Structure 1
Amino acid sequence: MPTTHLAPAPVGRRVRASLDDLLFVAAWFALLTLLGVAVRAIAPPAGPPSLPATDLTVLASTVLPVAAFLAAGDAGVRWAARGKRRAGLRVVTPDGARPSVGRSVVRAAVKIAPWQLAHIAVARLILGADDPVVTWTTYALSLAVPVVSVVTALRDPRQRALHDRVAGTRVVTF
C-alpha cells in the first residue's frame, strides 16, 4: 500500500545494505576472473586487445549484470535488492509506490556509471591507450561521482543519493 510518510532509511542501514550487495558483486567478479584466467590459459590472445572490444566486454560482463541485479530487485515484488531487503529497506517513488522498471533502470545506471568510468580508465591505463590526461580525468570522475552522491544524500532532507534524485526514488524503512 503506497504511503508518503515512510521514514528515510538511516545511513548506517543503507551502508550495510550496500556492503551486503557488494558481496554478491565481488562473488560475480571472482567468478569472471577465474573464467578469464581459464580462457587465457586455453586460448591466449593473438594480439593486443582493441579498446572498443575491451570496453564492450567489460560493460557486458560486469556493469550490465550488476545494474540488472540492482534494477530487478528495486522494481521487483520486494521493492529492493537483497541487501536492502535484509536491512529492512525499500526503494519507493515520491508517493511511496514501488518504482517502475524504467525508474529502477535509471537508478541503477546512475549508481553504476562510476564503475564503468573506472573500468574504462583502468583498461586504458593498463593498455597504455589514450592521452594520460583523459585517462586520469575519467578515473577522477569515477571517484568524484560517488562522493557527490554521498554528499547529496547527507544534505537531502529525505536522504536521497544522486541516483535516487535522478530516478525520482527514495530509500525508506519498512
Structure 2
Amino acid sequence: MKLVRENNPIRVQARIKELAIDYGVIMFYLVLLLLANLVFYFLVLDGIPEFTIVQSQLIATFESVVPIVLIFSLLDYKKPFGTYGKRRAGLKVQYKTPSFFRSLVRNSIKFLPWQLAHIGVIDGIYSEFATSSSIIFTNAGILLALILLVMGFFRKDKRHLGDLIAGTQVVLIRRES
C-alpha cells in the first residue's frame, strides 16, 4: 500500500452515500432472507418453531452477520476494492499488503456492533431486558458503532478501528483522464 494518507480528502457526503447504499444492499439481503425463512418455515416445518436463546443467537449470527461480513470482505478485497456503496461513492479500500484476511479483519470489526446488538437484543427478548448482559451487549454495540462512525467521518485519515488493525484505508478512486 502506498503510505497512509494522513489528510484523506473524503467528503462526509461521500461516506454517507456509501453507507446508505451499503445499508440498502444489506436490507435487501435481509428481506430475501426473511422471505426464504418464511417459505421454509411454513412449507417445510408447517409454522415458525420456538427457538431457544442459543438457537436464536446462532441463527442471527450465521444467517445474517457472517454472510454479510464474508460478502463485504470479498467485495473489498477483489478489484475494484470496494462494496457497491464505495464504488458508487467513488471510494475504494487500499491495503498495506492486500490479503483477504485483512479485508476479513476490517469487516469483522466494522460489523461487530451489529453482532453485539444482536446478542443483547436476543438476550433481552428472552429475559425481558432484565439481565445485565442484554443491556451491556446492546449498549456496547451502540457505543462501538458510534466510535467507528466518528472515526470514519472525523479523523483526518478517515480510518476507523478496523482500518487501523487491518492496515487498510478507504480512499478516493483516482479518475484517469
- Select between 154-163 and 81-90 the one with higher mean Cα deviation: 154-163
Cα shift readout 1:8-29 (whole Å, capped 9, x = no counterpart): 4222211211111111110111
Cα shift readout 1:27-48 (whole Å, capped 9, x = no counterpart): 11111222233333342355x4
Question: How many residues align structurally?
Answer: 169
Check 1:115–1:38 CA distance in 2 against 1; reply closer, same or farther (3 A cut): same
Cα shift readout 1:60-116 (whole Å, capped 9, x = no counterpart): 11001111121011100111111101111010124xx6x310110000000011111
Structure 1 residues not aligned, in runs of 5+: none
| Equivalence map 1:1-174=2 (5 Å) | 3-4=2-3, 7-42=8-43, 43=45, 44=47, 48-94=50-96, 99-128=98-127, 132-174=131-173
RMSD: 2.1
Aligned AA (1:83): G
Whole-angstrom CA distance in 2 between matches of 1:142 and 1:75: 25
Question: Could you state the TM-score of these two structures normalised by the residue count of structure 1?
Answer: 0.86
Q: Is the 8 Å Cα contact of residues 109 and 162 (structure 2) preserved in structure 1?
A: yes
Aligned AA (2:168): T
Q: CA deviation at 1:155?
A: 4.4
Question: Could you state the TM-score of these two structures normalised by the residue count of structure 2?
Answer: 0.85
Whole-angstrom CA distance in 1 between matches of 2:160 and 2:108: 13
Q: Is the 8 Å Cα contact of residues 8 and 170 (structure 1) preserved in structure 2?
A: no
Structure 2 residues not aligned, in runs of 5+: none
Q: Is the 8 Å Cα contact of residues 118 and 138 (structure 1) preserved in structure 2?
A: yes
Whole-angstrom CA distance in 2 between matches of 1:14 and 1:155: 11
